[in-house]
Structure 1
Amino acid sequence: MTFSLPTNLHNATTLTGRALLASLFLVSGLGKATAPAATLGYIGSIGLPFPALALAAALVVELGFATALLLGYRTRLVAFVMAGFSIATALMFHNQLGDQNQFIHFLKNLAIAGGLLQVAAFGPGALSLDARSGRRVAQA
């Protein structure tokens, strides 16, 4: 038995899923952009080299790529890169798994990566810039 959503519900669901995933990154990116010194201090505190470069990369992903995800622009590539970013940040920043709070953040990042990989696999849906441009939007 195959379950499929009616077209309008499917379109709304894919857009809502992208918006919910993007919102987390946009809020985080805005926080980093408005308090760069705190973010640079945190990046430096874990011993990563080139904190300013790491901050710039995080801002590109969290503001730029999240906006592209929200709009459904080059969605599959964007979602795949953001999934990698989520896994990398889990490993770098939330690796103290004995600390329950850090363990929850680690699992949250992995779950977000899972959602992004679903977007990468199945596409952005009809309510996206990719659909308007004729890029492949759904897995056949």
Structure 2
Amino acid sequence: MIGFVQGFLPLLGRILLSAIFLMSAIHKLTHWSATESQMQSEGLAWVSLLLAGAVAFELAGSLMVLVGFQARWGALLLFVFLIPVTFIVHDFWTYEGQEQQTQMINFIKNLAVMGGTLMVMAFGAGAFSVDAWRVARRREHPAVRAGAAQAVR
């Protein structure tokens, strides 16, 4: 059971965590003008630059987390992306009625997703990842084994 939990569940978690960012980046790319208009309605300046940065952070971060390549850095990109999005776009305290409730739910969901990114930063990508494969290959490399044998003597 531990092998399954430590192997498969982090992979499933990475898939679920990265999916929303990957889909969001693709949506931004395919609906660039509409996304710029929505960002302008939030009172943001330099929307083209911010949008390009958002897409870059979401694409790079989600793909890094998804495949488990430098997953901690990918999770950091997603965490950093979420900070302004959460506090600027989902500023529920500026709304009233049903819209306030909707924005508060999205705000809290983003906080939960931020918690997921912190977990990846703290514990890494897990066994089924490029990061784990690279560590295993390094250990199997003859030079590494020879160095380890020298260190034992």
State the secondary structure of the residue aligned to 1:83.
helix
The equivalent of 1:53 in structure 2 is 49
The equivalent of 1:138 in structure 2 is none
The equivalent of 2:109 in structure 1 is 108
| Alignment pair present for 1:121 and 2:106 | no
Asked which structure has the greater CA Rg, the reply is 2
After TM superposition, list the pairs within 5 Å mapping 1:43-122 onto structure 2.
43-97=39-93, 98=95, 99-122=100-123
Per-residue CA deviations over 1:40-95 (Å, capped at 9, x if unaligned) read 01111112121001111111122221011100011112112211211221001001
Per-residue CA deviations over 1:73-121 (Å, capped at 9, x if unaligned) read 1111211221121122100100123411111111111100001101110
* Structure 1 residues without counterparts, runs of 5 or longer: 136-140
State the secondary structure of the residue aligned to 2:92.
coil
The equivalent of 2:2 in structure 1 is 6
C-alpha separation between the residues in 1 aligned to 2:77 and 2:61? Answer: 9
TM-score by length of 1: 0.88
Q: Does the 8 Å contact 2:60/2:74 carry over to 1?
A: no
Q: Does the 8 Å contact 2:18/2:65 carry over to 1?
A: yes
Code of the residue aligned with 2:131 in structure 1: it is: D
Code of the residue aligned with 2:17 in structure 1: it is: L
C-alpha separation between the residues in 2 aligned to 1:12 and 1:25? Answer: 21
The equivalent of 1:42 in structure 2 is 38
Code of the residue aligned with 1:29 in structure 2: it is: A
The equivalent of 1:25 in structure 2 is 21
Aligned-residue Cα RMSD (Å) equals: 1.4
C-alpha separation between the residues in 1 aligned to 2:131 and 2:30? Answer: 31
Code of the residue aligned with 1:121 in structure 2: it is: A
C-alpha separation between the residues in 1 aligned to 2:61 and 2:26? Answer: 13
Shift in Å, 1:35: 0.4
User: Number of residues paired by the alignment?
Assistant: 131
TM-score by length of 2: 0.81
The worse-fitting range, judged by mean Cα deviation, of 74-83 and 113-122 is 74-83
C-alpha separation between the residues in 1 aligned to 2:70 and 2:49? Answer: 24
